[in-house]
Amino acid sequence: MPLTIDPANLMKPDSRVTAVAFTADGKYLAWGEEGGKLSICDPIGEDSSDEKTIEGGISKLCFTPDGLVIVGSHSGDLHAHERLGGHRWSHHLGGGCDHLAVAPTGDLIAVIDGARLLHLLSSSGKLLSHFESGELMLLAVSPRGDSVAVGDDAGNVTVLGREGDVKFIRPARGEQGERVTAITYLNDGHLCIAREALDVTMGEEEEIVLEWWTPMGQEAARVPFRQRCEVLKATASGVVCGMFDGEVIEFDSSRNQKTRFKSSFSIHDLLVAGNNLLVSSWFQVHAIGEDGNEKWQVEHTGLTEMIRASRDGSLILVAGDNQNDYTRENQIMILDSSAEPYLMQSGADIDADLKEFSTASPAERGANTVEALYGGDDDYSNLLTEAEMAQLAGTSPSGSKGATVDGDDDLMGLLEAEITLTDVTQETFDFDAALSEDAGRINLPPIADAGDDQIVEGDVDGAAVVKLDGSRSYDEDGEIVSHTWRDVNNRIIGEAAIIKVKLPKGNHTFTLTVTDDDHASTSDAVTVQVR
């Protein structure tokens, strides 16, 4: 069962988030919304700057090492703002900002505008150079800010210096149809390039490969892939690759290859955060430890297309849009990577809503018993009718002793009545005897009815006491001798027709199985939503 952590903070923007940024020390974050609203604050939502509205909307955001917020607009210019919101400078772009990268340690800002022109600037807004070559589609800046790499739509990658001088060109390998899918600088100065050929490649080359290039423009190594590489991110001593089929592959400094993670969905983004590797895929963010094991996963309300982290990986920012106009929920999630993980209740669909688990002690969570999940210290007997109390007590309303629902004798009786594969012997079926009048009756299985699906409102803590009612179940040619309720993890949570459960906020599914006096069983499921 996967582990999760609760968010340290949830921020609720007014509209869809279009871009996010985090300072290296994790002290401040910035986000842009539809309509161009720019917000800057600390991770707990305080110490905020004056809100600004950027003409043309906000497409990209980055923090410079000295704390400036670089804002690229969808259809306007590039702007630099101070943390408190003051405007520092603007730079004219043709058709808005399509790609933005800032050197983490050096003084270099690189922008590809809507006209596919590369702009290189200093953090003071000084234009260093321009570069134009076909349709520029990809951008990477060296950590020290001494060079930049750009990829075009024909499969060429050009490496330039700060002043726009071309250091080398990695030409396309095929005659046509080649595409560079990702580029990144490594900590040792090499450039990693992932490409796929959609046509005939030169010679005996593979169609999908990862290449290593030296700062002098020499190809140092090449590794073939089975699937397209979507994301490349440098590690302390190598590179990690996020693949289209959901695999995350890591190469060390000697280019030894190993699989770090496998998702069921394509990889959105990768982030090296301290000792963890953060993998965003579909609606989940997964934290993978150095040993390759998943430490925890968190589900976001939207696609996890925007993740950022502080330099030491202690704080993580997650944002994304679910792309559904009817259920759109705007949310920025702040995660503390040192938070204590706990077991999810039912897979990856419930995480921060489990208030009871987040406040329980490790020993209480480790038990993970049915009582811990659905019980409580409160007395809910006043919520039951006299008939329900009698049924739970194993007596009729008149006081006569009825069938025990959870006694050892009944349980042993059911176990003894089970027919295992080793008990079955091959016999010849007598059709004449089966059709004769004295062949005996044919048992009809019981009808299980778990009740209607429910939507209930939670209390101030988000929890609710819910009645699961299977009393409408029946058997046409006999009687029902047992009712068994199970949760989504197949744990037995009750053995009476009507039970009460205490549930946290979220969606929950329960299955009722009824067994008749001829040991035939059927099941029915019910879903409860606690809002």
Per-residue pLDDT tens digits for 294-323: 999 999 988 898 999 999 999 999 999 877
Instruction: Count other Cβ atoms within 10 Å, centred on residue 422.
Output: 6
Of residues 77 and 395, more confidence is placed in 77
Confidence (pLDDT) at 360: 46
pLDDT digits (tens, 9 = 90+) for 437-456: 444 557 788 999 999 989 99
Q: Report the chain's C-alpha Rg in angstroms.
A: 31
Domains in the chain: ranges and CATH: 1-12+268-345 (2.40.10), 13-267 (2.130.10.10), 381-530 (2.60.40.10)
**What DSSP state is assigned to residue 121?**
E
Strand-by-strand arrangement of the 219-224 sheet? 178-185, 191-197, 208-213, 219-224
| Mean pLDDT for all residues in the chain | 83
Confidence (pLDDT) at 174: 64
* H or E element in which residue 136 lies: strand 136-141
Distance CA 375, CA 385 (A): 19
Provide the β-strand partners of residue 41. 29
Amino acid symbol at 315: L
DSSP character string of 261-312: EE-SS-EEEEEEETTEEEEEETTEEEEE-TTS-EEEEEE-SS---EEEE-TT
DSSP character string of 394-459: TB-TTS-B---SS-HHHHHHHHHH---GGG-------HHHHHSGGG-PPPPPPB------EEE---
Distance CA 159, CA 149 (A): 4
Confidence (pLDDT) at 472: 92
Provide the β-strand partners of residue 271. 278
Distance CA 169, CA 177 (A): 18
Confidence (pLDDT) at 437: 46
Phi and psi at residue 437, to the nearest 5°: -65, -30
pLDDT of 211 higher than 70: yes
Band of residue 202 on the pLDDT scale cut at 50, 70, 90: low
The mean per-residue pLDDT over the stretch 143-154 comes to 94
Q: Which two tokens stand for residue 60?
A: 């990209």
| Percentage of residues of the chain with pLDDT beyond 70 | 78
pLDDT digits (tens, 9 = 90+) for 311-355: 999 999 999 987 766 666 789 999 999 999 998 764 434 444 444
Distance CA 206, CA 200 (A): 10
pLDDT digits (tens, 9 = 90+) for 516-525: 988 888 889 8
pLDDT digits (tens, 9 = 90+) for 87-135: 999 999 988 999 999 999 889 999 999 999 999 999 999 999 999 988 9
Band of residue 476 on the pLDDT scale cut at 50, 70, 90: confident
Maximum CA extent, the chain: 101
Provide the β-strand partners of residue 71. 61, 79
Q: Which two tokens stand for residue 122?
A: 């200093």
pLDDT of 464 higher than 70: yes
pLDDT of 410 higher than 90: no
**Cβ contacts of residue 372 below 8 Å, gap of 6+?**
360, 364, 365
| Percentage of residues of the chain with pLDDT beyond 90 | 53
Residue 344 in contact with residue 309, Cβ under 8 Å?
A: no
Residue 239 in contact with residue 186, Cβ under 8 Å?
A: yes
Between vectors from CA 108 to CA 106 and to CA 109, what angle results, nearest 5°? 140
Confidence (pLDDT) at 422: 38
Distance CA 257, CA 272 (A): 17
**What DSSP state is assigned to residue 474?**
B
Confidence (pLDDT) at 315: 95
Confidence (pLDDT) at 445: 87
The mean per-residue pLDDT over the stretch 271-292 comes to 91
Residue 181 in contact with residue 196, Cβ under 8 Å?
A: yes
CA 374, distance to chain mean position in Å, is: 26
* H or E element in which residue 389 lies: helix 386-393
Confidence (pLDDT) at 431: 47
Of residues 419 and 236, more confidence is placed in 236
Separation in Å, CA 55 to CA 72, 127, 242: 10, 21, 34
